[in-house]
Amino acid sequence: MNPHRIVYLERDSIRAVLPTPTFPHVWEEYPFTAPDQVFERIAAASIVITNKVQLRADLLARLPNIEFIACAATGTDNVDLDWCREHGIPVSNIRGYAVNTVPEHALALMLALRRQLLAYRADVQAGRWQQAPMFCCFDHPVRDLHGSTLGLIGRGSLGQAMAGLAAALGMRVLWGERKGAPQVREDYVSFETLLAKSDAISLHCPLTADTRGMFGEAELRAMKRDAILINTARGGLVDEAALVRALTEGWIAGAGFDVLSQEPPVGGNPLLAPELLALPNFILTPHMAWASDPAMQGLAEQLIENIEAFARGEARNRVA
């Protein structure tokens, strides 16, 4: 039997030590891969490792050597899973590695917005505290998370970890039912109730055909005017143009995002407008909530475990 040819298309997407697979193989890796380089690089591969590189049906149909696709991430919306299922190509993903790092980042965004940290930092930089007539400066309203209501979309490991952090702070947690669901499951509230009752909403769900554009103008207008929206999941969940209006026209009090609909945003994005980034009620970070050192090392080890399992003929973390 010929050794497996493993091609890692985006090695620089993680900073971690990768264990060496124990079965016979040839390893080939690239720091990153542009769309026009994908076919040539994986034409002879039997195992492909991808993070965000697109593997669609028209490309996969031209690659008869592929036997297994290992996603180096939890999200798999970059791979045509339907085509893979139809043609018997197993696909695995990474699970649970970001159970601490992503919720902690989401909480940090929530705290920064509720405590008005950006606004107060700007005041100090502008000399307002130095010129104040008394010992403190409190020009911006500060709200506690304790006693407030957190609405969560997504009840996987990340959503549940977020709920645990919220409970530790004394927040009430609401689990939101799927948008448009005909029935509300036990221990959930309707999507509409979540919008109306939450002081903060945090998204922890995958990007699918059903969730794309979940938050548009109507949903943002239905939120409390003093509520905040946190998105550390996928940019496509929220209509970005609508969010710009929500922030500048005061439909909601603030937003903290770690993701955009296109990454990297080489073609521009409305959330990158200088006037928006200057707002004290909007925080945008460059898709790094998942990237703590312990999380990335756990990802790397799980990635190789998934590949080892495939080589042994075992199904592990399969999504197709």
Active site residues: 234, 263, 287
Q: Which two tokens stand for residue 317?
A: 């973390």
Buried b (16+ CB within 10 A) or exposed e, 238-275: bbbebbbebbeeebbbbbbbbbbbeeebeeebbbeeee
Helices 101-114, 117-125: axis angle to 10 degrees equals 60
**Among candidate residues 200, 256, 248, the one with its CA nearest the CA of residue 231:** 256
130 class by beta-carbon count within 10 Å (0-12 exposed, 13-18 middle, 19+ buried): exposed
Measured distance CA(243)–CA(270) in Å, rounded: 9
Per the omega criterion (within 30 degrees of 0), is the bond before 274 cis?
no
Report which secondary-structure segment, H or E, holds 6: strand 4-8
CA dist 233 and 205 (Å) reads: 6
Burial of 97 (0-12, 13-18, 19+ CB in 10 A): buried
CA distance linking residue 112 with residue 99, whole number of Å: 21
Matching residue, tokens 């080589």: 311
Among 98, 68, 79, CA closest to 208: 79
DSSP state of 11: G
- CA–CA dist 223, 201 (Å, integer): 9
Query: Structure tokens of 172?
Result: 């009430």
